């Protein structure tokens, strides 16, 4: 094997300065990291190098095919480490997104037909839609409202267990408020009641600690393109016991580890994977995980400081705060007066600032502000000043 046959690797000691990690242009402000965090330039470069090399050697040639599978193996191992279980790479399956992972797990829940499933009204459509689809086919679904009251919420989980619930799906961090839900306690209640638990960590990994053993869940789903600032079309999920979920889709990667002609599934979580993926994107995901390892505890500390600054500025505005003030996340949701959608549009057209309209049935419209550690104090001040100008316009 020649040097040209060696696939390009990742930078284990990347430059983590804000200048090196910033991907955005400087002619606008971006406060929708909860939607998608711009990919770190170093991760983008790692993905492009691998993609170019793989194309040169032929993906399904002898050199390319081995490197393709090795890259995916390495991504599973790094994701296991990020989730607090470095010795459990075989419990990790790769996915194209959290939506992909949640659909796989919800469809494959090993529960009896007609069973009661619990979830929360805080969930993203990526969780609610597949759960509601199961309900359309005969299962029961109960959506618990989050009232920013952990004790009240947990009592609703207990009531569901008393009513015979067999599954619980909830987010660690709500995409609708930025609140951290009492997931470990809820999973303990569900486990004692004999229910399977799935945790959506899409809004958590990259900004707060995620340890699957501490959560006590049966499955944890995440992705690369939000708070990790990795490439699009990357995700993964960890399962404690693969027997709790039945594969509902099969492809050549579902049986990659088995002899040709076998009808069995892979003996690991790779049984939930199907066909060809962009391995280079997962190399980029590995690179962004390396960035976070190098950053250590700086990210959550910085996010909390920015949150405090933002909340101070928002007190000067006629906004109702939907989020719990003490939550340790980079998501703050406010309810402004007037036409909220118009305010979001003006923030972009007149201020060049991106914020997210939250428009959900049954609740007041709101604005989600989501920021990451790369934002500066001045960015927060500019955002608040722009809101002050535009909110006054909206209520005249």
106 pLDDT band, cuts 50/70/90, is very high
pLDDT at 392 over 80: no
Q: Give the SS3 label for residue 93.
A: strand
Residue 1's pLDDT is 61
pLDDT at 256 over 90: no
Q: Which residue has the higher pLDDT, 253 or 245?
A: 245
139 pLDDT band, cuts 50/70/90, is very high
The DSSP bridge pattern shows strands 29-30 and 353-354 to be: parallel
363 pLDDT band, cuts 50/70/90, is confident
Q: Give the SS3 label for residue 214.
A: helix
CB 148 within 8 A of CB 121: no
| pTM of the full structure | 0.96
Q: What is the CATH number of domain 298-394?
A: 3.90.1150.10
pLDDT at 260 over 90: no
Residue 395's pLDDT is 54
Q: Which residue has the higher pLDDT, 296 or 285?
A: 285
391 pLDDT band, cuts 50/70/90, is confident
pLDDT tens-place string over residues 214-237:
999 999 999 999 999 999 999 999
pLDDT at 40 over 70: yes
396 pLDDT band, cuts 50/70/90, is low
Cα 384 to the center of its chain, rounded Å: 27
Residue 292's pLDDT is 97
362 pLDDT band, cuts 50/70/90, is confident
Residue 394's pLDDT is 52
Calpha distance 218→61 (Å, rounded): 38
Backbone region of residue 210 per phi and psi (left: phi > 0; alpha: psi in -120 to 50; beta: other values): beta
pLDDT at 15 over 70: yes
CA atoms within 13 A on the CB side of 260: 0
pLDDT tens-place string over residues 64-80:
999 999 999 999 999 99
Tokens of residue 86, six digits: 């470095």
pLDDT tens-place string over residues 194-221:
999 999 999 999 999 999 999 999 999 9
Domain ranges of the chain: 67-292, 298-394
pLDDT above 70 covers what percent of the chain?
98
pLDDT (mean) for 106-110 = 97
pLDDT at 393 over 90: no
The third-level CATH classification (topology) of the domain covering 67-292 is 3.40.640
Calpha distance 264→383 (Å, rounded): 55
């Amino acid at each position: 094997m020649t040097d040209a046959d060696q696939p390009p690797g990742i930078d284990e000691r990347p430059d983590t300065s804000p200048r090196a990690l910033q991907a955005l242009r400087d002619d606008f402000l971006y406060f929708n990291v909860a939607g998608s965090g711009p990919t770190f330039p170093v991760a983008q470069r790692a993905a492009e190098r691998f993609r170019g090399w793989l194309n040169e050697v032929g993906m399904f040639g002898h050199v390319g095919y081995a490197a393709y599978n090795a890259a995916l193996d390495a991504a599973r191992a790094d994701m296991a480490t990020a989730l607090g279980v470095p010795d459990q790479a075989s419990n990790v399956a790769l996915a194209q997104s959290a939506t992909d992972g949640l659909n796989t797990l919800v469809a494959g829940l090993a529960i009896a037909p007609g069973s009661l499933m619990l979830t929360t009204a805080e969930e993203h459509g990526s969780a609610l839609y597949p759960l509601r689809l199961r309900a359309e086919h005969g299962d029961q679904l109960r959506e618990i409202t989050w009232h920013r009251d952990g004790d009240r919420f947990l009592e609703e989980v207990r009531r569901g267990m008393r009513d015979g619930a067999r599954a619980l799906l909830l987010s660690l961090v709500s995409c609708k408020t930025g609140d951290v839900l009492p997931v470990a306690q809820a999973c303990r209640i569900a486990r004692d009641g004999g229910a399977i638990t799935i945790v959506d960590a899409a809004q958590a990994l990259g900004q707060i600690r995620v340890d699957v053993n501490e959560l006590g869940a049966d499955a944890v789903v995440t992705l690369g393109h939000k708070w990790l600032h990795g490439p699009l079309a990357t995700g993964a999920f960890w399962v404690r016991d693969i027997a709790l979920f039945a594969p509902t889709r099969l492809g050549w990667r579902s049986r990659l580890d088995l002899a040709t002609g076998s009808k069995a599934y892979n003996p690991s979580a790779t049984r939930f994977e199907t066909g060809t993926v962009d391995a280079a994107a997962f190399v980029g995901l590995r690179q962004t995980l390396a960035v976070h390892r190098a950053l250590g505890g700086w990210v959550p500390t910085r996010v909390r400081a920015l949150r405090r600054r933002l909340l101070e500025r928002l007190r000067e505005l006629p906004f109702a705060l939907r989020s719990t003030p003490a939550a340790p996340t980079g998501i703050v949701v406010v309810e402004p007066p007037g036409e909220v959608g118009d305010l979001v549009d003006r923030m972009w057209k007149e201020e060049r600032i991106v914020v997210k309209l939250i428009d959900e049935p049954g609740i007041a419209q709101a604005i989600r502000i989501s920021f990451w550690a790369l934002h500066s104090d001045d960015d927060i001040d500019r955002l608040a000043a722009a809101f002050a100008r535009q909110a006054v316009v909206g209520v005249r």
